[in-house]
Amino acid sequence: MEKTKKKLHFFQGRRFDFVLFFTVLILSIYGLVVLSSASLSLDPKAFVQKQAFASILGFCIVLILMKLDYRIFKKYYLLFYGLGLALLGATLVFGHGDTSWGSRSWLRIGPLNFQPAEFVKLDLIFCLAVFLEKKEDINRPWDLIQVLVFALLPVLLIMAQPDFGTSMVFIFILASMIFFANISWKYILSAILAVILILPVSYPFLDDFQKDRILDFLNPSANTQGSGYQANEAQVAIGSGQFFGKGLYKGSQTQYNFIPTKQTDSIFPVLVEELGFIGGFFLLLLYGLLIYRLIDIARTSKDLTGRYLTIGVAAMFFIHIWENIGMNMGLMPITGIPLPFISYGGTFQLVNLIAIGLILSVHYHRRDKNPVN
């Protein structure tokens, strides 16, 4: 009887966000199913097993983090920030990758091979959330300069890899958090104007593959057998899925390997080709529910760090979903941005689930006394 009461206490209704937890669980299962088809002609056992292991480990971490009060980590935020910068610095020196398609963004430490920027992304969201809470008025010039330096230093290290796509994800997340910290509109409009002026000037300094992605986006039919091949095949697969799809494991574009990186960046075309509009709509419905719950948790949080943290995580998921689906539909330039809980990637899956664990902790402990005080 006592054990039963403890279990009920662990999952008690108003403290445990069942909707958020089970939305992410369904997304992860859905992702494994789609991944099993995307990797069928490659090595389905290896891909699915690794993703399933990362998911199981991630959900265990979710339940542990939910019970831990996230506020106990606030006093160590500078240490976490320093570790994040050290990881990015080590990636610049010791990282590996292929600069012809992306960047030197992977780091090997013993048997572990991972993408530090994924962990640093969540690390920076948490650290910036604490840093913003400590600022009395973000609209004071000196406070704003401190926030910008604090936020943009990791972004500069990622740009140096070079990883333009991940840098843009970071900037969107940081801009969203600063926006919800009640920054003045005069700064917002000034930033928008600065971006408009900088973009044309920065184009000559881009790498050739980055220029190709922009040109292919502006003129999709110009080079469908070259640099625009991935975008073109993705759109062919999406269009051929029609309303009900061709059936799981039956997509011709998928199973005959016409779609590049179909298990990672281009997994959305796999899903729509085989499961059709219905499958794509179901995915968007789950994502909509995920973002809605995150925004609601941010709204009800009584702790500013918790509020900024949740906004940052919501922005992280939103920009990944928007960019990945947009680039595969020809609405955004191609970047190496994966789809949360669907794309293959152990590091990516773990980071996303750790983020969910932290947000469940924000919701679980929203009425508890702050342990730091």
3-class state of residue 95 by DSSP: coil
Q: What is the dihedral of CA 309, 311, 313, 318, to 10 degrees?
A: -170
Cα 109 from Cα 176, distance rounded (Å): 33
**Phi/psi of residue 108, nearest 5 degrees:** -110, 125
pLDDT tens across 12-35, in order?
556 889 999 999 999 999 999 999
Q: How far is CA 202 from CA 61, 133, 196, 198, in A?
A: 41, 33, 11, 6
Question: Under a CB-based contact definition with an 8 Å cutoff, are residues 201 and 322 in contact?
Answer: no
Query: Would you state the pLDDT for residue 237?
Result: 93
pLDDT tens across 78-99, in order?
999 999 999 999 988 888 776 5
**Phi/psi of residue 112, nearest 5 degrees:** -85, 130
Grade residue 257 by pLDDT with cuts at 50, 70 and 90: confident
Question: Under a CB-based contact definition with an 8 Å cutoff, are residues 332 and 344 in contact?
Answer: no
Statement: residue 335 has pLDDT above 70: yes
3-class state of residue 253 by DSSP: helix
In terms of Cβ atoms closer than 10 Å to its own Cβ (0-12, 13-18, 19+), residue 240 is: middle
Does this model's pTM top 0.85? My answer is yes
pLDDT tens across 44-82, in order?
888 999 999 999 999 999 999 999 999 999 999 999 999
Q: How many CB atoms lie within 10 A of CB 11?
A: 12
Question: Under a CB-based contact definition with an 8 Å cutoff, are residues 97 and 207 in contact?
Answer: no
pLDDT tens across 183-215, in order?
999 989 998 898 888 878 877 777 777 777 777
pLDDT tens across 290-324, in order?
999 999 999 999 899 999 999 999 999 999 999 99
In terms of Cβ atoms closer than 10 Å to its own Cβ (0-12, 13-18, 19+), residue 261 is: middle
Closest among 351, 352, 348 to 337, alpha carbons compared = 348
**Phi/psi of residue 254, nearest 5 degrees:** -75, -55
